[in-house]
Structure 1
């Protein structure tokens, strides 16, 4: 088969009327091609550098252009990165400047809200804020964008340090006034005031209860002293209240203090106070005047420091504004410069990119003129050949690789055209064989197995042989299946008839058992009557003898009928088992058919592969192989259906055998019960004979006889139930036999769809035939 496949060409058919060159022998063509290949290698070694040089030149131009673009793009990214870094640094510097100004405002807030009662804590807080401010200014100095900004920051730091020194002096002044080690001038003034008031009360002999009133100038000794003291105390209270703003009315307070002191001294001189007490009051008044003067001087000094601080603040605030303005101006200048540099880099990058594109385009144009044009000519020639124009040629005459390729392609076309003439004749013969094979396959697909495919000396020969082998073997197997199915149908019919006969016999036996049961019930009633009526024992005993004999006869008949029924059921079970064996033989035949279908499917698949390898000329063979494959799949599907039917028959047969076994077991039980009932009847008869001779013993034994009668009734009822169950089992067996007959008919109908060949045509030997059927299968077919 493979030798025939090699002779078929895969070339497409030649257009009618086209002249073809003479074919060249395979050996000569191979030798010519080998020489051409050798010379082609040598020429490629000599001229191969031309195309490689062109490609290398284009590659170098593209690489240089891309490298240029990459360098310019890197420069542009570097400029943008520097711009982003400087912008971030400027933003960070501006933020630090804002934070420094906020710290300065916080220090001003602490300075303005400086309370006398917690002045030490407030001064410490101001010192912490100032240290933070100076630290931030140091950070600004380190990150200054240029020298001019750095100098501005350094001058601002100097002003801040001067402000910090003034704040320290201002705090020390107020510390002396409010929280000195000896209590401060405020405490000294309060103590001197209290001491003066106490001495005045002591001088005027004031009571302890009026001590608070003395503080208000309400003395009892002298109304003038009290009034003067009240005016002096008002001046002291005014000083304590307006201590932070004492500079506003410092002169008025000094003048009022001198006037109040002279008035108090004058009032004391005329009050008539003793010299000792007058001297102590004057000393206390001198201390009040001294402390008052010192307090005014200290407050004036603190206020002068505060004025200096205000002047310093007026210098620092504009310095902050100038610094921020200078930074903003520098930032705008730097931003403009960077934007200009980025714009220049962008323009340069665009120019480089356009120049690189122009260079690459020129290189590609040069490459296209030298490479793409010959490739286009070769491609056009290939397209024309694909459309059937075998006169097309490339016509390339250049000395480079593409020219050699075009000339080699032209020589290849000349050689291929020469081989098309041979392929056309082979394809014609192959088409005729394929058409005949398709017609035969179409008939076989219609289940006509009597068709014989003609065998020819070409690639279709092995397929025709395989199809003929498949038809012969399938016809044999289906003939055997038909015979077995007919035998199975006959056996099923006979089994059904015997099952009907057994069912009728069981029905009659059931009626007999029912009659026997009724008679046993009558006998039991009679025995009970004997127990009650001992005087009528003789007549009842005779009647009981007759009844017992009839019952014994019925029981014997029932036992014999059940034995016959058991034999019939055993025979039926054997036949059903033989039917199962026949079904197994059918399964073996179906397996053989399935193996043949698998082999046919494999041959069809092999033919499809060969047709695919043959190309266009094997397309018809591929169609035939596909039809054969579908036929094999159809045969395999039919064998699957037959196998399913056989499996169902085997299952029904197995169920029937089980049912028969159960019926046999129940019949055996019924036979034992009938034998036991016969034995009981025999005993009853002997008892009845004794009864007739011994009338006196009837009364004593009547109760025992009644119990025996009840046992007989129970046995009769058991026999009746066994007969009913036997009838039910026989009915089930009849249904299963009917189903078996239906399955056999279905099998015959399924096999009858195939049209088989005549027996004499099946007798001949065939290539690749399967082994002969077994003797059992032949006997089944003959039956």
Structure 2
């Protein structure tokens, strides 16, 4: 119990501070655990990215390795198949490029394997075998060493093949070819056919050794064929036939050269087969380790995340329990005194003025309850004093209300009582207001009588003015009608004149167009006449050309006759030659037929040329007739143009006259329209005047009615007798206006007449309803 009292005496600010510190620590713990989760996930993601990059680099290295091996085989195949004098270095260049890329990949893998965060804390498990965490780094180191060894070994392969020769014109291949060629030339006799067959087989086996990887079978066959050749060369009969006893020496050198080629090829093939079994499995194992490392990293991350999540859950539960306990405890220590205060306020509202909180505490709520009890004690004392003052004030207000009730019945003879309390000033002011209002209403009554008289006089005058305005309006409307008729006639005349002007201008344009057409016709006819003249000249020249064609046709006819005679002579000579001249006779007959065809064609051409000449003469005669007719048409067109010009001048004069008439008509119509507009303005002014007079008449009637109503309204008030009532008839308008301006304004002298008005009213401290 002592501990609870100590807690109750703690200040509310300190309680809230303790609660805030607890919540802050809880959030800090949550933030710390969340930061641990984020850090773990970030590290795991970075490791996964490193392993993924490692796998990509391994894949790129494998691709580049395959490219290296591919161009290695291309290199070996190209030197085996090369028979020219020069070698294409493309496979070697590509091989060098991909070897460089492979070295770059291995360098990147070494740098990645040595980077921080690449190694896992657990061991790597491959095929159920636990390996150390730096296993991948060891794989990278092994692969890098193998790549370096391959690079140096491939240089040896190139050297071995360079000794053999990249082409048939290099190295041991050149030497072997030279020796074999010497041997072939030595056995070149036609009687050593079996030796030639053996040499062909030897060359075939040599090419097979250069092109294949498995050299054993081809090399053994080559040696067997060489032994057979050696036996053939040792035969005395073949030696005599061959005629070259030094072939054995060449054979020995050739065999030694082939042995050197085979030794170098075998050395190169051993290097090639060695790296097939070393680098490929290492790359496969590196790719497998990358995938397993990613999976193992994900598993490790999930395990750490679950552990941290458990810690977060436990922390959250502990913090929530502590905060709930503090909220309950501090809430209990705060809500209990507040409920006590609320209950005390309810009792006071229900009329129990003796109710008190009686809380004894050292916190803010204890101070509040003590102050509240002290306030209740002071208010009870003040209420007893206020009740006495309110009763006295109620009696004064009731008297004032009775006086106001008499005033509401329009009785301005009543006087309100004036007391010594706060209502004294109010009664004094009410009496002053009543006096001034009665005086003002008396003046209003007199003025209303005068307004009625003047309103009747204005009404009669307005009726006379309206009659005169109505008569003037009818006269203006009659004049307006006549002006409208005159204006419409002038508009019609102007319209007709405009139409005539348009038709005259149209006729002038048509005349001008017809004149231009006639001029163009004359120009066209002159052009036609000139064209016909040129045509006549060309037709005459055509007739002259036809005569030249006749001469050429005669020449062709003469050539055809001579050709015919030559063909006959040739036929006669061919016939005299017998069988040997039969072919020539056929040709002579064909030439004779061609000559006859040419003669017939020239005859037809001559007939056609004669016909053309006759028709040309007829065309020339027709052209001369057409020229005569065109000249007559030109003369008639020129006469028509002169007549059209005269018509154009007459039409132009007519257009000018019609334009003058149109302008005059438009000016007269414009003047009439201006008169009509002026008359319309006069008519509109007359109508507006009539409207204003009607409005003035309506206003005057309203003024008469309102003045009668005002007089009736003022008459219902009961006013006191004024000593100078007989002088109201002499009230001037200026005096009335001055009084209207001062209504509701109390001067300093008026205030001095009523001392009670200067009394400051007392302020009520309680609310009560006064009856």
What TM-score, normalized by structure 1, do the two folds share?
0.51
Q: Is the 8 A contact 2:15 2:330 kept in 1?
A: yes
Offset, 1:736? 3.5
Instruction: Tell me the equivalent position of 1:744.
Output: 700
Distance 2:220 2:161 in 1: 24
Instruction: Tell me the equivalent position of 1:226.
Output: 196
Q: Secondary structure at the match of 1:756?
A: helix
Work out whether 1:166 is the aligned partner of 2:149: yes
Distance 2:141 2:264 in 1: 28
Offset, 1:113? 1.8
Q: 2:158 aligns with which of 157, 167, 175?
A: 175
Work out whether 1:380 is the aligned partner of 2:380: no
Work out whether 1:54 is the aligned partner of 2:11: yes
Q: 2:225 aligns with which of 247, 260, 263?
A: 260
Offset, 1:147? 9.0
Offset, 1:172? 1.6
Instruction: Tell me the equivalent position of 1:88.
Output: 45
Instruction: Tell me the equivalent position of 1:422.
Output: 389
Offset, 1:745? 1.9
Distance 1:55 1:229 in 2: 120
Q: Is the 8 A contact 1:159 1:316 kept in 2?
A: no
Residue deviations 1:246-277 (CA, integer Å, cap 9, x gap): 13xx2211111112333345556665689896
Alignment of 1:647-658 (within 5 A): none
User: Which structure 2 segments of 5+ residues have no match?
Assistant: 1-5, 79-90, 124-131, 479-676, 724-730, 741-771
Q: Is the 8 A contact 1:203 1:277 kept in 2?
A: yes
From the superposition, tell whether residues 75 and 431 of structure 1 become closer, same or farther in structure 2 (CA, over 3 Å).
farther
| Aligned-residue CA RMSD (Å) | 5.1
Distance 1:276 1:467 in 2: 176
Work out whether 1:391 is the aligned partner of 2:368: no
Offset, 1:153? 3.0
Q: Is the 8 A contact 2:205 2:221 kept in 1?
A: yes
Instruction: Tell me the equivalent position of 1:346.
Output: 313
Distance 2:691 2:339 in 1: 84
Instruction: Tell me the equivalent position of 2:554.
Output: none
Instruction: Tell me the equivalent position of 1:312.
Output: 278
Offset, 1:477? 6.5
Instruction: Tell me the equivalent position of 2:263.
Output: 297
Q: Is the 8 A contact 2:172 2:257 kept in 1?
A: yes
Distance 2:243 2:306 in 1: 93
From the superposition, tell whether residues 203 and 730 of structure 1 become closer, same or farther in structure 2 (CA, over 3 Å).
closer
Q: Is the 8 A contact 2:122 2:133 kept in 1?
A: yes
Q: Secondary structure at the match of 2:360?
A: coil
Offset, 1:425? 5.6
From the superposition, tell whether residues 178 and 505 of structure 1 become closer, same or farther in structure 2 (CA, over 3 Å).
closer
Q: 1:157 aligns with which of 140, 156, 180?
A: 140
Q: How many residues align?
A: 488
Distance 1:137 1:54 in 2: 67
Q: Secondary structure at the match of 1:394?
A: coil
Q: 1:404 aligns with which of 354, 361, 370?
A: 370
Alignment of 1:237-276 (within 5 A): 237-242=207-212, 246-247=213-214, 250-267=215-232
Relative contact order higher in (CA < 8 Å, ≥ 6 apart): 1
From the superposition, tell whether residues 261 and 741 of structure 1 become closer, same or farther in structure 2 (CA, over 3 Å).
same
Q: Secondary structure at the match of 1:113?
A: helix
Offset, 1:104? 3.4
Work out whether 1:65 is the aligned partner of 2:22: yes
Q: Secondary structure at the match of 1:757?
A: helix
From the superposition, tell whether residues 465 and 756 of structure 1 become closer, same or farther in structure 2 (CA, over 3 Å).
farther
Residue deviations 1:144-170 (CA, integer Å, cap 9, x gap): 244965532332133112321332134
Q: Is the 8 A contact 2:57 2:109 kept in 1?
A: yes
Point out the more displaced range, 398-407 or 724-733.
Answer: 724-733
Point out the more displaced range, 286-295 or 353-362.
Answer: 286-295
From the superposition, tell whether residues 163 and 777 of structure 1 become closer, same or farther in structure 2 (CA, over 3 Å).
same
Residue deviations 1:507-556 (CA, integer Å, cap 9, x gap): 99999xxxxxxxxxxxxxxxxxxxxxxxxxxxxxxxxxxxxxxxxxxxxx
Instruction: Tell me the equivalent position of 1:132.
Output: 105
Q: 1:358 aligns with which of 320, 325, 328?
A: 325
Distance 1:70 1:411 in 2: 48
Q: 2:115 aligns with which of 134, 142, 153?
A: 142
Work out whether 1:332 is the aligned partner of 2:294: no
Offset, 1:481? 7.6
Q: Is the 8 A contact 2:462 2:696 kept in 1?
A: no
From the superposition, tell whether residues 311 and 182 of structure 1 become closer, same or farther in structure 2 (CA, over 3 Å).
closer
From the superposition, tell whether residues 287 and 157 of structure 1 become closer, same or farther in structure 2 (CA, over 3 Å).
farther
Offset, 1:467? 8.6
User: Which structure 1 segments of 5+ residues have no match?
Assistant: 1-48, 206-218, 444-448, 512-720, 766-771
Offset, 1:125? 1.0
Distance 1:127 1:722 in 2: 109
Distance 1:306 1:408 in 2: 111
Q: Is the 8 A contact 2:153 2:271 kept in 1?
A: yes
Q: Is the 8 A contact 1:232 1:260 kept in 2?
A: yes
Residue deviations 1:652-698 (CA, integer Å, cap 9, x gap): xxxxxxxxxxxxxxxxxxxxxxxxxxxxxxxxxxxxxxxxxxxxxxx
Q: Is the 8 A contact 1:506 1:727 kept in 2?
A: yes
Q: Is the 8 A contact 1:193 1:288 kept in 2?
A: yes
Q: Is the 8 A contact 1:58 1:363 kept in 2?
A: yes
Distance 2:320 2:340 in 1: 34
Work out whether 1:235 is the aligned partner of 2:205: yes
From the superposition, tell whether residues 79 and 726 of structure 1 become closer, same or farther in structure 2 (CA, over 3 Å).
closer
Offset, 1:220? 6.0
Distance 2:678 2:70 in 1: 124
Offset, 1:187? 4.9
Q: Is the 8 A contact 2:157 2:268 kept in 1?
A: yes
From the superposition, tell whether residues 289 and 120 of structure 1 become closer, same or farther in structure 2 (CA, over 3 Å).
farther
Offset, 1:202? 4.7
Offset, 1:95? 1.5
Q: Is the 8 A contact 1:103 1:133 kept in 2?
A: no
Offset, 1:741? 0.7
Distance 1:750 1:136 in 2: 113
Offset, 1:176? 2.6
From the superposition, tell whether residues 73 and 472 of structure 1 become closer, same or farther in structure 2 (CA, over 3 Å).
farther
Q: Is the 8 A contact 2:164 2:172 kept in 1?
A: no
Distance 1:264 1:742 in 2: 157
Offset, 1:411? 0.5
Instruction: Tell me the equivalent position of 2:600.
Output: none
From the superposition, tell whether residues 202 and 77 of structure 1 become closer, same or farther in structure 2 (CA, over 3 Å).
same
Offset, 1:740? 1.3
From the superposition, tell whether residues 176 and 724 of structure 1 become closer, same or farther in structure 2 (CA, over 3 Å).
closer
